[in-house]
């Protein structure tokens, strides 16, 4: 759960802030779609702060996540059992934004339980307590996933997808990404621009089987290593070349790009 505090820095690349605010006013559930490390989580943290909807309830979905993990369960307490709300239920009760990150990684029953929250009903059935919980007026459901990494077995079903308005994210243009890298890592503008250019060139290596290439997050990590005193080429080796692939030919192709672009 993200706590209230300083504004999470986010640099808009299109009209995503305005679109999300409009969806919020209409209480429309939102799907954030895009490659890993492109800023989806930072965006929703920024929007929760901007809309004064903190704390943000974030759930990192995984293959063992069940509907009970989201909704809640009875737990032993002394000589009795006590109902404990899950993160989704807490958000529904309190009017928080609930962010289900990489939702298709969760078990299928988790997507079924969110359906009644994504239409005009805005209710959460809690089967184990018999409660039909009306969502707080300020509650908003946001989910994300990366279409490029999902197999057909893990793709988001149309019955779920069509309950959400969709915001598509991409890696930003070089100039914009350089600004992000400089701000987030503390490196100078020239170094940030070189790192962003490396990212752009690496993403073009699709013939080597790279679906997305290097994320903005990894470019920021590289900048942070450089700002911390690690030589630029070594930082790229650690945070880019060996982070995105174990294949020798891919690593060599990335290393060649680094050699050309770094002095």
Greater pLDDT, 78 or 117: 117
Of residues 250 and 46, more confidence is placed in: 46
170: pLDDT strictly greater than 70: yes
pLDDT tens digits, one per residue of 189-235? 999 999 999 999 999 887 666 666 899 999 999 999 999 999 999 99
- Please name the CATH architecture into which domain 16-168 falls: 3-Layer(aba) Sandwich (3.40)
Query: Please, which residues have CB within 8 angstroms of residue 202's CB and are 6 or more apart in sequence?
Result: 210, 213, 214, 240, 244, 254, 257
**pLDDT tens digits along 29-57:** 999 999 889 999 999 999 999 999 989 99
Local confidence band at 254 (pLDDT 50, 70, 90 cut-offs): very high
Domain ranges of the chain: 16-168, 174-261
Instruction: Sort 19 into a burial class: Cβ within 10 Å, 0-12 / 13-18 / 19+.
Output: middle
Beta bridge partners of 143: 31, 100
Cβ proximity of 253 and 208 under 8 Å:
yes
**Percent of the chain residues topping a pLDDT of 70:** 93
Residue 60 predicted with pLDDT over 70: yes
Q: What is the pLDDT of residue 152?
A: 47
Check: CB of residue 87 under 8 Å from CB of residue 113: no
3-state secondary structure of 31: strand
Tell me the pLDDT band of 154, cut-offs 50, 70 and 90: low
Strand ranges for 66-139 from DSSP E: 72-77, 80-85, 97-101, 123-126, 131-134
The string of pLDDT tens digits covering residues 123-136 is 999 999 999 999 99
- Rounded to whole angstroms, the maximal C-alpha distance in the chain is 69
pTM across the whole model: 0.89
């Amino acid at each position: 759960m993200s706590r209230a505090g300083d504004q999470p820095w986010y640099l808009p690349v299109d009209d995503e802030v305005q679109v999300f605010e409009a969806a919020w006013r209409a209480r429309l559930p939102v799907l954030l779609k895009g490659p890993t490390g492109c800023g989806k989580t930072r965006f929703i943290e920024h929007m929760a702060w901007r809309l004064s909807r903190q704390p943000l309830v974030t759930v990192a979905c995984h293959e063992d996540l069940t509907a009970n993990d989201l909704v809640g369960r009875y737990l032993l307490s002394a000589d009795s059992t006590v109902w404990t709300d899950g993160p989704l239920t807490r958000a529904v009760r309190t009017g928080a934004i609930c962010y289900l990150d990489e939702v298709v990684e969760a078990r299928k029953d988790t997507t079924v339980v969110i359906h009644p929250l994504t239409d005009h009903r805005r209710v959460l059935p809690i089967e184990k307590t018999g409660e039909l919980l009306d969502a707080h007026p300020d509650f908003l459901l946001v989910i994300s996933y990366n279409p490029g990494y999902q197999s057909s077995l893990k793709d988001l079903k149309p019955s779920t997808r069509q309950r959400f308005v969709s915001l598509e994210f991409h890696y930003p243009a070089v100039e914009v990404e350089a600004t992000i890298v400089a701000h987030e890592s503390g490196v100078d503008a020239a170094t940030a621009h070189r790192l962003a250019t490396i990212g752009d060139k690496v993403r073009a290596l699709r013939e080597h089987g790279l679906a997305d290439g290097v994320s903005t997050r990894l470019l920021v990590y590289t900048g942070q290593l450089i700002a911390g005193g690690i030589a630029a080429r070594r930082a790229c080796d650690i945070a880019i070349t060996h982070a995105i692939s174990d294949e020798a030919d891919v690593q060599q192709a990335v290393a060649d790009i680094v050699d050309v672009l770094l002095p």
